[in-house]
Structure 1
Amino acid sequence: MALERTLSIMKPGAIRNRLTGTILQRFEQAGLVLVGSRVVHLTKEQAEGFYEEHRGKPFFESLVKFMTSDTILIEVFEAEDAIASYRKVIGNTDPDIAAPGTIRADFAKSKQENVVHGSDSPASAAREIAYFFNDDEIFSPVKS
């Protein structure tokens, strides 16, 4: 397996409900290494640009409104098979069918307010990471 990176967003609900430490601990326990992080309050334009692929869908406007309602925590994780590992920890987008013990099953209110976002493929991860970070803002751990 190759070392890869994935983008993570802790959405407004995670911040409001003070779940960031709990969620971060789950990622670290799964072997994901934090290599980039920032707190952001998205503008409407930033949220629309990030979710451009959903423009025109019935949920687009409410998603943008939710994602701009408060601060979010954006992270980059690195690990062997990081995307699949991350997605296993977060669970299905719909918390009603997410596996017990996943972040979304445990903390999400709905499909839209599902606490976290994660890249779903290497191409998405590359695009999403580049949307929020420059290369010099991501730091792989020093190997000893």
Structure 2
Amino acid sequence: MEKTFLMVKPDGVQRGLIGEVVNRFEKKGFKLSAAKLMVISEDLAKQHYGEHAERPFFGELVDFITSGPVFAMIWEGEDVVKTARHMMGSTKPSEAALGTIRGDLGLTVGKNIIHGSDSLESAGREIELFFGSSTEISYDKPVEQWIY
């Protein structure tokens, strides 16, 4: 079963959208195996967004993601990385399809509610960064027999 890392960003937390985001992934049939509300340190933010370090918006990105609490999550399911990307929608909310998280709830490129891993490799790296050796909860969901 694939795993992915998703994070409700500070704008989503402040707007009270954690439940809305979690609800969408649960309705899709994915399983939440770990979650925590946290404030990201500047060091963690720089590691997380390291691929953008040379871009002109890097400082603003770090400032934003450290500006308030985030809700970090690990989700499991068939093709969860690819499906989560579709459910999130385009990075630019104005270009995101209605019915996606960003299309329905996002405001701007910077305030687009959610971050999600873009590949299995990124998911592994991001899960390690945010959860380290924290134990994920393993449990059975009776509904899985109807999904997989």
Identify the residue that residue 9 of structure 1 maps to in structure 2.
Answer: 7
Task: Describe the superposition over 1:11-61 as per-residue Cα deviations: whole angstroms up to 9, x where unpaired.
Answer: 001110001111110111111110011111011111111111110101111
Letter in 2 for 1:46: L
RMSD, aligned α-carbons: 1.3
Identify the residue that residue 58 of structure 1 maps to in structure 2.
Answer: 56
Question: Does the CA-based 8 Å contact 1:8-1:75 persist in structure 2?
Answer: yes
Identify the residue that residue 86 of structure 1 maps to in structure 2.
Answer: 84
- Quote how far apart the aligned CAs of 1:135 are: 4.4
TM-score by structure 1 length? 0.93
Gaps of 5+ in 2: 143-148
How far apart are the structure 2 equivalents of 1:111 and 1:82? 23
Identify the residue that residue 118 of structure 2 maps to in structure 1.
Answer: 120
Question: Does the CA-based 8 Å contact 1:30-1:85 persist in structure 2?
Answer: no
Matched, 1:75 2:83: no
- Quote how far apart the aligned CAs of 1:129 are: 0.5
- Quote how far apart the aligned CAs of 1:143 are: 6.0
Aligned residues: 142
Gaps of 5+ in 1: none
TM-score by structure 2 length? 0.91
Q: Give identity over the alignment, percent.
A: 37
Question: Does the CA-based 8 Å contact 2:106-2:112 persist in structure 1?
Answer: yes
